Amino acid sequence: MAKLKWGMIGGGEGSQIGPAHRLGAQADGLFEFAAAALDHRPEQGRAFAQELGVSADRAYGDWREMLQAETARPDRVDLVTIATPNSTHFEITKAFLEAGFNVLCEKPMTMTVEEGEEIVRVAEASGRICAVNYCYSAYPMIRLARAMVREGEIGKVRLVVTNFSHGHHGDATDADNPRVRWRYDPAMAGVSGQFADCGIHALHMASFVCDDHVKSLSADFASTIPSRELEDDAMVNFRMAGGTVGRLWTSSVAIGRQHGFDIQIFGETGGLRWMSEQPNQLIYTPVGGRTQIIEKGEGGIHEEAQRLSRVAVAHPEGFPLAVANIYCDLADAIRGETRDGLPGAEDGVRSMAAVHAAVESAKGEGAWTDARPPMFR
């Protein structure tokens, strides 16, 4: 099977997200890195792209140049990944979708709910794939959890409890470090800090595993380092459309937590637990029974998990291959095999609506607030 052609915008030298996408796209030999506009400095971007093996004529100086040139080529790229600063996601995503490209956009897909709704409409009109990189949902054991929920193995879900907390912004003496500060500055980060940065991964995960949507929420935000305008710690209670109760904690001042992204799902007949720092196990307890450890790759596991497991049971696979799983789904989808686990534009706008609802609720002393985008009410 010939490789698909892949292009990337943003993710230049020194970025964290660039290498993750390049590994994700290439690890399984599914995509060829064919075109790029990697840097806001045109020359650096062109040079770096060529160093990474992109041919000179497709190493572009900016995304507009890339859009124009690729649109004109008969062998245009099959997929464009957008990993530019958050505030530019909307414009670039929209432009490429309208030109008929499939897109994988980094989160957040947009800065406002209105923009998000527009992307949903544009994607629909274009008939192209618009995916959003909620890559944690592509871990095999998360796919398994979702499959188990869908097949009723834990009964109707009563309660989902999730957190995504770290302590890497916990040092007040480091709070003015530009790499940290921008996240808590509304001029750069928008309306929300930690909730928009990490919380929405957890919120997406809850919706994904429960196969449901957040309907309303109540939020409590705190700036535990006083110089921060935006929150560095947040608690969000929510209710899903199907009645599930949700609890979400996110923090960037939880010193000692490296990357505590955990989720617990409690249903009528069982409970599930997953922790991102040990992603190859899913902990399952049937009601009245013993806790069991389900291993990635174990015999007889659900196909949804099996197809994303590359190596034998108990050989751990980690975060970079969760990103690669998104690309596996994309390759399948581009070739016409629907992958309903692939997060899309609807997920993107729902996240944005939840962020804005949480901000409003937090300002309103925790008042319960509709968390749905108007288009999905």
Per CB under 8 A, does 279 bind its own copies? yes
Q: Which of 253, 326, 331, 359 binds its own copies (CB under 8 A)?
A: 253
Q: Which of 13, 15, 26, 112 binds its own copies (CB under 8 A)?
A: 26
| Ranges within 216-235 binding its own copies (CB under 8 A) | 218, 220, 222, 224-225, 233, 235
Per CB under 8 A, does 316 bind its own copies? yes
The answer to whether the CB of 223 falls within 8 A of the CB of 163 is no
Per CB under 8 A, does 11 bind its own copies? no
Per CB under 8 A, does 23 bind its own copies? yes
Per CB under 8 A, does 142 bind its own copies? no
Q: How far is the CB of 100 from its own copies (least distance, A)?
A: 25
Angle at 15 between CA 50 and CA 178, to 5 degrees: 140
Of 84-92, 98-106, 184-192, 307-315, the window that binds its own copies (rule: CB under 8 A) is: 307-315
| Ranges within 40-79 binding its own copies (CB under 8 A) | 51-53
How many residues at the interface with its own copies, by CB under 8 A? Answer: 88
Residues 307 and 83: their CA atoms lie apart, in Å, by: 27
For residue 124, give both structure tokens. Answer: 């629909």
Q: Which of 277, 335, 340, 374 binds its own copies (CB under 8 A)?
A: 277
Q: Which of 79, 122, 230, 272 binds its own copies (CB under 8 A)?
A: 272
Of 39-47, 108-116, 160-168, 347-355, the window that binds its own copies (rule: CB under 8 A) is: 160-168
Residues 162 and 354: their CA atoms lie apart, in Å, by: 15
Q: How far is the CB of 304 from its own copies (least distance, A)?
A: 18
For residue 342, give both structure tokens. Answer: 């692939």
For residue 363, give both structure tokens. Answer: 């300002």
Residues 173 and 117: their CA atoms lie apart, in Å, by: 40
208 or 221: CB nearest its own copies? 221
Per CB under 8 A, does 334 bind its own copies? no
- Helices 200-210 and 345-363, packing angle to 10 deg: 120
Q: Which of 298, 332, 360, 370 binds its own copies (CB under 8 A)?
A: 298
31 or 90: CB nearest its own copies? 31
Residues 81 and 175: their CA atoms lie apart, in Å, by: 31
Of 113-121, 141-149, 195-203, 251-259, the window that binds its own copies (rule: CB under 8 A) is: 251-259
3-class secondary-structure state, position 260:
strand
Residues 354 and 373: their CA atoms lie apart, in Å, by: 8
Q: How far is the CB of 49 from its own copies (least distance, A)?
A: 12
93-118 burial by CB neighbour count: b if 16+ within 10 A, else e?
Answer: bbbbbeeebbbbbbbbbbbbbebbbb
68 or 258: CB nearest its own copies? 258
Q: Are β-strands 31-37 and 4-10 bridged in parallel, bridged antiparallel, or unpaired?
A: parallel
Q: Which long-range contacts (CB under 8 A, 24 or more apart) does 358-364 make?
A: 358/192, 358/195, 358/199, 358/217, 358/219, 358/221, 358/234, 358/236, 359/191, 359/192, 359/195, 359/219, 359/221, 361/217, 361/218, 361/219, 362/219, 362/220, 362/221, 362/231, 362/234
The number of angstroms, rounded, from the C-alpha of 317 to the middle of its chain's C-alpha atoms is: 18
The number of angstroms, rounded, from the C-alpha of 68 to the middle of its chain's C-alpha atoms is: 28
Of 179-187, 199-207, 214-222, 331-339, the window that binds its own copies (rule: CB under 8 A) is: 214-222
206 or 253: CB nearest its own copies? 253
Per CB under 8 A, does 241 bind its own copies? no
Site string for its own copies, 97-136 (x = CB under 8 A): ----------------------------------------
Site string for its own copies, 337-376 (x = CB under 8 A): ----------------------------xxxx--------
> Residue 256 carries which side chain, given as an amino acid letter?
G
Q: How far is the CB of 84 from its own copies (least distance, A)?
A: 19
Q: Which of 13, 167, 188, 375 binds its own copies (CB under 8 A)?
A: 167
Supply φ then ψ for residue 178, to 5 degrees. Answer: -55, -30
